[in-house]
Amino acid sequence: MKKIAIFASGAGSNAAKIIEHFQYNPEIKVSLIVCNKPTAGVLDIAARAGIPTLLIEKENFFRGSAYLEELEAHGIDFVVLAGFLWKIPAALVKAYPGRIINIHPALLPKFGGKGMYGRFVHEAVVEAKETHTGITIHYVDEFYDHGRTIFQEKVEVSPDDTPATVAQKVHRLEHEHFPRIIEAVVNQQTDGSALPNQR
Ligand code: GRF
């Protein structure tokens, strides 16, 4: 059984889709939701799904043990960032080599890096009059939005799109692709099966 921890800071719509996706999977289980915001919607999602939660705070995360003991205690094999706004400390990256993945709501390397999250990304895409945007699912290293890309999918941006309508298009892509890419990557880690080919 492969156990996943989802790290999230916000509404948790991605976390909800991932939980739903693995609900009946005999080999892969969402075993823990890690969150840095006591009021985040993702905590309600976890409670409804009966999944344990771990509320973390900055001091211990960045200058302490990075909660490695708690992750071990839950038998976590894989970490999925789904709207988690803090950088991942080196201790955590080292403890889970090639086993932390993130989703970014744009086509990295464009529109990535510190401060580029949520609506700020979509505002920048509209501002730059991009004809396309999309999602990037990538491995996580010590730098923001920097690790090797696993999967990207594009969507058109029309001149009358607003940051809000772009966000809707991107969220649809996230919900469609993230759960199955996670499954493919976790399986690939276990049985070496091929990664999903890019579109
Ligand atoms: C998503 O846009 C994701 O790409 C980004 O953070 C957002 C999380 O949204 N990393 P939600 O909390 O899953 O609804």
pLDDT for position 32: 98
14 within domain boundaries: yes
In this structure, which residue's CA is closest to atom 10 in ligand 1? 83
In this structure, which residue's CA is closest to atom 1 in ligand 1? 83
Catalytic residue among 104, 122, 138, 177, which? 104
pLDDT for position 196: 60
pLDDT for position 194: 62
CA of 171 to the centre of ligand 1 (A): 7
Query: Could you report the per-residue pLDDT of 181-193, keeping only the tens digit for each?
Result: 999 999 998 766 6
Q: Under DSSP, is residue 72 helix (H, G, I), strand (E, B) or coil?
A: helix
Section 47-55 average pLDDT: 98
197 within domain boundaries: no
CA distance 77 to 81: 14
Section 104-110 average pLDDT: 97
Task: Work out the percent of the chain whose per-residue pLDDT is above 90.
Answer: 88
What is the position in ligand 1's atom list of the atom closest to the CA of 16?
Answer: 13
Could you give the number of structural domains in the chain? Answer: 1
CA distance 63 to 33: 21
What is the position in ligand 1's atom list of the atom closest to the CA of 10?
Answer: 12
199 within domain boundaries: no
Does ligand 1 come within 6 angstroms of the Cβ of 136? no
pLDDT for position 189: 81
Q: Is 104 noted as a catalytic residue in this protein?
A: yes
Query: Could you report the per-residue pLDDT of 7-42, keeping only the tens digit for each?
Result: 999 999 999 999 999 999 999 999 999 999 999 999
196 within domain boundaries: no
pLDDT for position 192: 63
Element containing residue 21 per DSSP (H, E): helix 13-22
198 within domain boundaries: no
30 within domain boundaries: yes
Per-residue confidence at 143, pLDDT binned at 50, 70, 90?
confident
Ligand 1 pocket test: pick from 171, 175, 178 the residue with the most ligand atoms within 8 Å of its Cβ.
171
Ligand 1 pocket test: pick from 103, 104, 120, 137 the residue with the most ligand atoms within 8 Å of its Cβ.
103
Ligand 1 pocket test: pick from 14, 39, 81 the residue with the most ligand atoms within 8 Å of its Cβ.
14
pLDDT for position 195: 65
Per-residue confidence at 199, pLDDT binned at 50, 70, 90?
very low
Structural domain boundaries, residue 21: 2-191
Element containing residue 122 per DSSP (H, E): helix 119-127
Is the confidence at residue 133, as pLDDT, over 80? yes
For residue 3 the two structure tokens come to 């156990």
pLDDT for position 190: 72
Query: Could you report the per-residue pLDDT of 157-174, keeping only the tens digit for each?
Result: 999 999 999 999 999 999
What is the position in ligand 1's atom list of the atom closest to the CA of 14?
Answer: 13
Element containing residue 81 per DSSP (H, E): strand 78-81
132 within domain boundaries: yes
CATH code for position 59: 3.40.50.170
